[in-house]
Amino acid sequence: MEYHPRKATEGKAPHMKVDLEAFKKTMGCFASGVTVVTARTAEGSPVGLTVSAFCSLSLEPPLVLICLGHRTVGLDAFRQGPFVVNVLSEAQREISVRFAQKRDDRFDTVDHAPGANGAPVIADSLAHIECDTHAVLPGGDHDIIVGAVTNTAVVDAAQPLIHFRGTYHALA
């Protein structure tokens, strides 16, 4: 799949300079669920990180997207696929914190098993979505990775972990 950015048109106003701290604070006002996205490197090692930039893209065919920074450890594993989006439950706050940190031992104390696609599925997650990489698109300092959904599972009894204004929350 090829990406074709929109071309600027004449007479269009230039982009305004936005204060990056103000932008981050503003974006923090959007409450989101918390996910840990996982994959395996070409050598078979598990990689993963906490991601809030995740959403459904299409029902037919079933597609989701994640956005990963260019400095993400193991980025090529996600670009190549397959990968899993693990939707965290409110009981998995520590897993979110662990996978948000820069550390090599993220999986050491986290119960996980290979999904049908071989990428790690974190035990007791609210849900997980297994994907093959469908497309990789540029998005500023991130890649927009579109995943073709190949398998899903839901745990009905759990509540989601929510992130809002820099802190974790649970549904009331």
Contact 57, 63 (CB under 8 A): yes
* Residue 116, both tokens: 């049908």
Number of domains into which the chain is organized: 1
pLDDT tens digits, the chain, 172 residues: what are they? 555 555 544 455 566 788 888 888 888 777 889 999 999 999 999 999 999 899 999 999 999 999 999 999 999 999 999 999 999 999 999 999 999 998 889 999 999 999 999 999 999 999 999 999 999 999 999 999 999 999 999 987 789 998 988 888 878 7
Q: Cα dist. 33→52, 71, 164 in Å?
A: 7, 23, 9
161 in any annotated domain: yes
20 in any annotated domain: no
108 in any annotated domain: yes
113 in any annotated domain: yes
Buried b (16+ CB within 10 A) or exposed e, 57-75: beeeeebbbbbbeeebebb
158 in any annotated domain: yes
pTM for this model (two decimals): 0.87
What is the CATH classification number for the domain harbouring 145? 2.30.110.10
Q: Cα dist. 90→86, 101, 172 in Å?
A: 13, 19, 11
146 in any annotated domain: yes
26 in any annotated domain: no
- Give the domain range for residue 130: 33-170
24 in any annotated domain: no
